[in-house]
Structure 1
Amino acid sequence: MAMEWDFILRLCVAGACGTVIGLDREYRVKDAGFRTHFLVALGSALMMIVSQYGFEGFLASHDGLRLDPSRIAAQVVSGIGFIGAGTIIIHRQLVRGLTTAASLWATAGIGLAAGAHMYVVAAAATLLTLFGLEVLTLFFGGIGRRRTMIVFSAVERRSIEKAFRRLESRDYAVVSYEVEAVRTPEGVVHRATLIIRAKGTASEESFVDLLRADPDITVERIV
């Protein structure tokens, strides 16, 4: 009975560590939040416990038989990639969700550590993961500028071109630019799809205000 309580403690530690990381992702409004991270850590710890202790009765009844308990744990590391891949969104030249996928992968490792009774390692890895997600962003977040896709439309094509020139003349780099004519019940509307990146100290959101200030422009979607 004491061993079962020890297993439950391992699962609780793993779930707590996963929840802490998931709360950070929830705060950042990411698709994989505290529930997903909790389940990943809990499941990883459970797989580790099963791989270590789940076959003791079978091994006891078969003399000379040996099993490698690390094999099941190793499959967790590769299997978690399927969940991580589900959080990554690739659209045109944009990639979103890589950091969340990496946090899930790290959470799986933390769950394995907790399941292996390595509580100090699991706690240290949780703190280091939060350090990478928050503290590094605080100090070095301004170095890299992420790309943003914005879709906007106007009745006149020249309004689209004017907005494009205005964006290019500001502190932004237009990575790609595409305009198509779309027929609607009200008539033909010109829709532009821009992938844009802020330069220097320019705000990554102010270009949206720049477009919305134009009465001829309708901002449809921001990714």
Structure 2
Amino acid sequence: MNEIVADILVATHTPYQVILARLSGAILLGALIGIEREKRQRPAGLRTHILVSLASAVFAVIAVESVHMTSLSGPEVRIDPIRVVEAVTAGVAFLAAGMIVFSKGEVKGLTTGAGMWLAGAVGLSIGFGFWWIAAFGALASLVVLFVLGRLELALNWKSPEELAGTAEGQPHDRKNAASGDRRDT
């Protein structure tokens, strides 16, 4: 039993309080991105963005900790944390690609997919301990999603229905409506 407890409470390079704070930060910042998507009734909303951000942070923490593990520090073992970044990027891109749909001559879900990809980057940033980078990325995403969404309405580039994701496939009066070029918000 002592071996099991010792295995569960393994010593980490980063204190557990810091790890828990990083994972909590990933949840919070992923939620900020997801709330905006949820308000617009997109398929990947609050929970999806939280999970993507949290998973990315967990992978980053594991990468940091694996570099410092004594059992993986022998000369025959080579740990490269950059591979974790590549794997998370590829995995999240796969999820984000699943959000993109081509229907009735329109591409939908690009912005939601990009938001998921950014949530992954935010999670990785926090997992590696780069809080300011993660916070700036999350806040910048909110500016892009919310403020620029309002600007698109003000400039009549999108209708409120298109912005909310409830358009019935009818192009709104915009420059590119004749060509069917509609972007997701």
TM range (shorter): 0.7 to 0.9
Q: Deviations over 1:86-110 (max 9, x none)?
A: 2222113011111110000011000
Alpha-carbon distance in 2 for matches of 1:109, 1:200: 33
Cα displacement (A) at 1:143: 5.2
Partner of 1:75: 87
Q: Percent identity?
A: 31
Partner of 2:172: 198
- In the alignment, is residue 93 of structure 1 matched against residue 109 of structure 2? no
Q: Report the structure, 1 or 2, having the larger helix content.
A: 2
Alpha-carbon distance in 2 for matches of 1:57, 1:197: 60
RMSD: 2.3
Alpha-carbon distance in 2 for matches of 1:74, 1:8: 23
TM-score (norm 1): 0.63
SS of the equivalent of 1:90 reads strand
Partner of 2:125: 113
Alpha-carbon distance in 2 for matches of 1:200, 1:140: 10
Cα displacement (A) at 1:58: 2.4
Alpha-carbon distance in 2 for matches of 1:196, 1:129: 28
Q: Identify unmatched segments of 5+ residues in structure 2.
A: 1-10, 176-185
Alpha-carbon distance in 2 for matches of 1:10, 1:200: 43
Alignment: residue pair count = 156
Cα displacement (A) at 1:75: 1.0
- In the alignment, is residue 135 of structure 1 matched against residue 109 of structure 2? no
Cα displacement (A) at 1:64: 6.0
Q: 1:89, 1:97 within 8 Å by CA — same for their partners in 2?
A: yes
Cα displacement (A) at 1:81: 1.4
Q: 1:26, 1:34 within 8 Å by CA — same for their partners in 2?
A: yes
Q: Report the structure, 1 or 2, having the larger strand content.
A: 1
Alpha-carbon distance in 1 for matches of 2:29, 2:84: 21
Quick one: structure 1 residues 149 and 9, their matched pair in 2 at CA, closer, same or farther if it must change by over 3 Å?
closer
Q: Identify unmatched segments of 5+ residues in structure 1.
A: 151-194, 202-223
Q: 2:66, 2:79 within 8 Å by CA — same for their partners in 1?
A: no
TM-score (norm 2): 0.75
Aligned to 1:30, which of 23, 42, 59? 42
Equivalent position amino acid for 1:196 in 2: Q
Cα displacement (A) at 1:54: 2.6
Q: 2:158, 2:172 within 8 Å by CA — same for their partners in 1?
A: yes
- Which moves more between the two structures, 78-87 or 16-25? 78-87
Partner of 2:8: none
Equivalent position amino acid for 1:197 in 2: P
SS of the equivalent of 2:63 reads helix
- Specify which structure has the bigger relative contact order, considering alpha-carbon pairs within 8 angstroms and separated by 6 or more residues: 2
Alpha-carbon distance in 2 for matches of 1:143, 1:98: 20
